[in-house]
Amino acid sequence: THYRLGKNLPFSGILFRNSRSALMDQAIAVIPRTTPLMMAVLAFQFAGCEYQPPAGDQTCFGYLTTPRTQFRPQCPLRPLQHHLSPYQQPHSCRSQSTSAGDTFPPLDADESTELSQRDDDVSIPPEALPSPPPSAALKSAKLAALHARLSLPPRLPIQTLARALVHESADPDPNFNNTSLAILGSNLLGLYTSEYLLCNYPRLPISVLFAAQSAYVGTKALALMAKEWGIESVAEPGGEVDPGLLQYRRLAAGAAWGEFAPRGTGRPNEQKGWRRGITSKIVYDDQFGDMRMTTPEPSQPVPLDIAAESFVRALMGATYLHCGRATTKRFFASHWLSRTLDLSKMFEFRTPTVDLSKLCAREGFEPPVARLISETGRASRHPVFVVGVYSGRDKLGEGAGGSLDEARVRAAVMALKSWYLYKPLDVTLPSDAEGMEPTKWKPNLVDIGEVIV
In whole angstroms, the minimum distance from the beta carbon of 60 to another protein comes to: 6
332 CB neighbour count, 10 Å cutoff? 23
Pick between residue 38 and residue 256 the one whose CB is nearest to another protein: 38
Pick between residue 82 and residue 329 the one whose CB is nearest to another protein: 329
Pick between residue 230 and residue 435 the one whose CB is nearest to another protein: 230
In whole angstroms, the minimum distance from the beta carbon of 441 to another protein comes to: 26
Pick between residue 111 and residue 355 the one whose CB is nearest to another protein: 355
Nearest partner of 235 among 332, 170, 149, judged by Cα: 170
Which residues are CB-neighbours of 279 under 8 A, at least 6 positions away?
none
In whole angstroms, the minimum distance from the beta carbon of 146 to another protein comes to: 8
How does DSSP classify residue 293?
B
In whole angstroms, the minimum distance from the beta carbon of 40 to another protein comes to: 6
The three state secondary structure string of 224-289 is: HHHHHCCCCECCCCCCCCCCCCEECCECCCCCCCCCCCECCCCCCCHHHCCCCCHHHHHHHCCCCC
In whole angstroms, the minimum distance from the beta carbon of 290 to another protein comes to: 11
Rounded distance between C-alpha atoms, residue 78 and residue 98, angstroms: 9
SS3 73: coil
Given the rule CB under 8 A, which residues bind another protein?
A: 37-40, 42-44, 57-63, 65, 141-142, 144-145, 148-151, 205, 207-208, 210-212, 214-216, 218, 220-221, 224-225, 227-230, 333-342, 345-351, 354-355, 374, 376, 384, 386, 400, 450, 453
In whole angstroms, the minimum distance from the beta carbon of 223 to another protein comes to: 9
Pick between residue 84 and residue 235 the one whose CB is nearest to another protein: 235
Pick between residue 248 and residue 331 the one whose CB is nearest to another protein: 331
Which residues are CB-neighbours of 387 under 8 A, at least 6 positions away?
370, 371, 372, 373, 398, 399, 400, 401, 404, 407, 408, 410, 411
Please give the C-alpha separations between residue 282 and each of 106, 253, 290, 321, in angstroms, as whole numbers.
Answer: 51, 35, 10, 28
Pick between residue 38 and residue 261 the one whose CB is nearest to another protein: 38
Rounded distance between C-alpha atoms, residue 200 and residue 204, angstroms: 9
* Phi/psi at 387 (5° precision): -120, 140
In whole angstroms, the minimum distance from the beta carbon of 118 to another protein comes to: 30
Q: Residue 262: beta bridge partners?
A: 293
Pick between residue 128 and residue 333 the one whose CB is nearest to another protein: 333
Rounded distance between C-alpha atoms, residue 411 and residue 73, angstroms: 62
In whole angstroms, the minimum distance from the beta carbon of 416 to another protein comes to: 8
Would you say 61 and 44 are in contact if contact means Cβ atoms under 8 Å apart? yes
